[in-house]
Structure 1
Amino acid sequence: MFENIKQDWKANSKSINHAGFRTLLVYRFGQWRMTIKNKFLRAPMGFLYRQMEKHVRFKYGIELPYTVALGNNITFEHQHGIVIHGQAKIGDGCIIRQGVTIGNKSLEAPFDAPSIGAYVNIGAGAKILGKVQIGDHAAIGANAVVTSDIPDYAVAVGIPAKVIKIKYPEGQDL
C-alpha cells in the first residue's frame, strides 16, 4: 500500500496539496480498511472512510469509489466533475482530466463498466460509457463519447468517438 502511495505522490506533482493525490490517498485508505478482518475494528475505519470520501467528492469533485480496480501512477490532471463507476478498471499511468465520466450506459446493465488499459490519456469532458475496452497507450479526445472498443495506441475523437489515427510506437511496422 505504501509503495502505491509513493507512486501516486510522484504522479501528482509530488505535492500533498494536489487534489488528485488527496483523492488517491482516500481511495487507498478505503481499500486498506477492507483488509481488516475483524468487523468491529473495521467499522470505525469505514465511518472515517465515508467521511473522507464525502469531503473529497464535495471539495474536489472527484468520485472514486474504493471498489474501482485502479493501477499505479494515476494522475488526475485537473479536479471537478470526475465520476468513475465502482466496477471500472483503470490501468497504470493513466491521465484523467476534469469532467470525465467513466460509467455504464444502461439501467438494464448497471454493472457494465469500462476497462481502461495502461497509459491512456483521457481528455477533458470525455465520456466512456458501457462495457468497453480502451487499449493501452490510447488517447481519448476532449468531449469524446466512447461507446465502443478502442484499440491500443489509437486516438479517438468525436461523438460518438471514432478512431482517427493509430500512433504506433517507434520501430513498430504498420
Structure 2
Amino acid sequence: MITSKEELREYIAADNAWYCPSGAKEKIAAAIVCYPQRELKRYLYFLRKQEYYINTARGNKVKGLLGLYYERRKNLLGIRLGIEIGPNCFGKGLCIYHGGSIIVNTAVRAGENCSLHGGNCIGNKGYRGAVPRLGSNVDIGYGAVLIGDIQIADNTVIGANSLVNHSFAEPGSKIAGIPAKKIDMYQE
C-alpha cells in the first residue's frame, strides 16, 4: 500500500523496470507509434497515482479529487486496453505483458513482482465474496483464471489457460491444467 511520495516513486520505478526504452529515438518512436507497452506503462502509472491519493487523502478534499482524477484516467485507458484492476491489489513490480481482458477483483491482494500475460480473470466464484491471495513473484500465464478463496505461494508459475480453483501452498510450484495441478516442468 502506497502511503508516501517515496513509496510512490519506488512502485512506479519497479512497475516500469522492463518497459523503459533505452534511448531518445526509442522514446520518440514509442510516443509516435503508440506502442502497446507505452500504454500499459501509462495504465500502471495512473493506477499507482490513484492508490497514492486515495491512501493519503484522510479527509483532504484536494487529494480526494486527485484520486478520482487518476481513477478516471486509469479507467478510460483501461477500457481501451481491456484491463480492470482496482487500487491496492498488487505490490510493487507489477508487470502486464499484454492488454486485453484482464479483470482483477478489487478485494484481491498480491505480493510484489507479479506478472500478468493477458486474458486473466482473478476473482470470486460468483456466489461468495472470497477471492484469491497471491504471494510474491507469481507469474500468471495467458488466459489463466484464478477463482475463489485460494492462496497461491511465492514464486509460483501458472500455465496458460489454467483454471486455478484450489490453493497451492508450496513455494516455487509450477501449475497448469483444468483444474490446475502441480506439474513437473521437465517431463517428456
TM-score w.r.t. length of structure 1 = 0.85
Residue deviations 1:13-35 (CA, integer Å, cap 9, x gap):
21585233222111111111111
In structure 1, distance between residues paired with 2:103 and 2:70: 18
Q: Is the 8 A contact 1:62 1:79 kept in 2?
A: yes
Partner residue, 1:118: 136
Gaps of 5+ in 1: 168-174
In structure 1, distance between residues paired with 2:146 and 2:171: 16
Residue deviations 1:103-148 (CA, integer Å, cap 9, x gap):
11132x22x1111111111110000001111111111111100000
In structure 2, distance between residues paired with 1:21 and 1:128: 24
Residue deviations 1:134-170 (CA, integer Å, cap 9, x gap):
1111111111000001121111111111111389xxx
Q: Is the 8 A contact 1:19 1:79 kept in 2?
A: no
Partner residue, 1:128: 146
Residue deviations 1:56-78 (CA, integer Å, cap 9, x gap):
2211111111142x111111011
Question: Is residue 2:160 matched to residue 1:139?
Answer: no
Q: Is the 8 A contact 1:83 1:100 kept in 2?
A: yes
Equivalent residue runs for 1:1-174 within 5 Å: 1-11=8-18, 13-15=19-21, 18-34=38-54, 35-68=56-89, 70-107=90-127, 109-110=128-129, 112-150=130-168, 151-165=170-184
> How far apart are residue 39 of structure 1 and its match?
4.2
Where does structure 1 differ by over 6 angstroms across 4 or more consecutive aligned residues?
A: none
Q: Is the 8 A contact 2:88 2:109 kept in 1?
A: no
In structure 2, distance between residues paired with 1:67 and 1:117: 14
Amino acid in the other structure paired with 2:66: M
Gaps of 5+ in 2: 1-7, 22-26, 28-36
Higher helix share: 2
CA RMSD of aligned residues (A): 1.9
Percent identical among aligned pairs is 27
In structure 2, distance between residues paired with 1:106 and 1:165: 31
TM-score w.r.t. length of structure 2 = 0.79
Higher strand share: 1
Between the two proteins, the alignment pairs up a number of residues equal to 163
